[in-house]
């Protein structure tokens, strides 16, 4: 079946550091890929998405590129802020299935 593997946390970085959170997937066909973010005390929110190979999703300075050849969708940000501290989930939805498959989540803490 479909699965998503993302790097284990927690990840702690200093403000303005470069961020990468790795995500790889296993799926048949051509899934859509997502990054969700959960800030403390809030529900998951869609951060960005990509629906086909080589698409780049971006939002709030975060980017992720759909790489079919490496089945990856790594999340990156050039300069993180304290307000980026949250849990980040990589996910996919495979049409025909229409259900989100999530990774384990990665807790990110940014220290000033």
Partner 1 sequence: GAVVSQHPSRVICKSGTSVKIECRSLDFQATTMFWYRQFPKQSLMLMATSNEGSKATYEQGVEKDKFLINHASLTLSTLTVTSAHPEDSSFYICSASRDRSNEKLFFGSGTQLSVL
Binding footprint of partner 1 on the chain (CB under 8 A): 4, 8, 32, 36, 38, 41-46, 49, 89, 93, 98-105
On whether the CB atoms of residues 45 and 90 are closer than 8 A, the answer is no
What phi-psi label fits residue 60: left (phi over 0), alpha (psi between -120 and 50 degrees) or beta?
left
Upstream peptide bond of 10 is cis (omega within 30 degrees of 0): yes
Q: How far is the CB of 110 from partner 1 (least distance, A)?
A: 21
In the complex with partner 1, which residue's Cβ is closer, 41 or 112? Answer: 41
Q: How far is the CB of 58 from partner 1 (least distance, A)?
A: 17
In the complex with partner 1, which residue's Cβ is closer, 14 or 83? Answer: 83
Q: How far is the CB of 34 from partner 1 (least distance, A)?
A: 8
In the complex with partner 1, which residue's Cβ is closer, 18 or 95? Answer: 95
In the complex with partner 1, which residue's Cβ is closer, 15 or 40? Answer: 40
* CA 17 to chain CA centroid, nearest Å: 18
The DSSP string of 71-110 is TB--EEESS--GGG-EEEEEEEE-TTT--EEE---EEEEE
Q: How far is the CB of 89 from partner 1 (least distance, A)?
A: 7
């Amino acid at each position: 079946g479909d699965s998503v593997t993302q790097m284990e946390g927690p990840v702690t970085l200093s403000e303005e550091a470069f961020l990468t959170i790795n995500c790889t997937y296993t799926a048949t066909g051509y899934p859509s890929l997502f990054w969700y973010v959960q800030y403390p005390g809030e529900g998951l929110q869609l951060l960005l998405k990509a629906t086909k190979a080589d698409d780049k999703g971006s939002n709030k300075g975060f980017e992720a590129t759909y790489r079919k050849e490496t089945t990856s969708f790594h999340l990156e940000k050039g300069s993180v802020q304290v307000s980026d501290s949250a849990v980040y989930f990589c996910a996919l939805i495979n049409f025909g299935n229409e259900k989100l498959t999530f990774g384990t989540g990665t807790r990110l803490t940014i220290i000033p």
